[in-house]
Amino acid sequence: MFHAALYLVLMITGVLLWNVGSATGTINNLEQFMASFGWDSFAFKGGELFRGFAVFGLFGIVLGTGIWVLGAVVFNLITELVGGIRVTVLEEEVVARTVEPDHIQA
């Protein structure tokens, strides 16, 4: 579920950033910048980029989930092999001492 939610957030963020870049003219400026290097036919195609990132994100969901499952299995196997780690917390009682001043006898 985490990876699916992350996928959804990143796709929405990408669409919003694309719309902002398109509205401010940043995408056209980047295309003109690339054309200044001799790439006259360079152009960003929003629909193709979105579809590509959507497919890549779906593979990312599956891959990310698989990596976390594999990590949990390996962790459990290592813990079973070495016996795990035991953590003991001791609560010590703190006793306040009172210091009496020395009496000087004359």
What confidence tens digit (pLDDT) does each residue in 61-89 have?
Answer: 999 999 999 999 999 998 888 887 778 88
Are the C-beta atoms of 3 and 58 separated by less than 8 Å?
A: no
What confidence tens digit (pLDDT) does each residue in 92-104 have?
Answer: 887 777 777 766 6
User: Among 43, 47, 25, which Cα is nearest to 34's?
Assistant: 43
- For 93, other C-beta atoms within 10 Å of its C-beta total 4
What confidence tens digit (pLDDT) does each residue in 19-69 have?
Answer: 898 889 888 888 888 888 887 777 888 888 899 999 999 999 999 999 999
Distance CA 15, CA 51 (A): 11
| Helix, strand or coil, per DSSP, at residue 36 | coil
Distance CA 51, CA 17 (A): 16
Q: Which pLDDT value is given to residue 105?
A: 63
Distant-in-sequence, close-in-space partners of 15: CB < 8 Å, separation ≥ 6: 50
Q: Which pLDDT value is given to residue 21?
A: 87
- Considering the entire predicted model, what is its pTM? 0.58
Q: What is the residue whose two structure tokens read 């917390």? A: 89
> Encoding tokens for residue 59?
């593979």
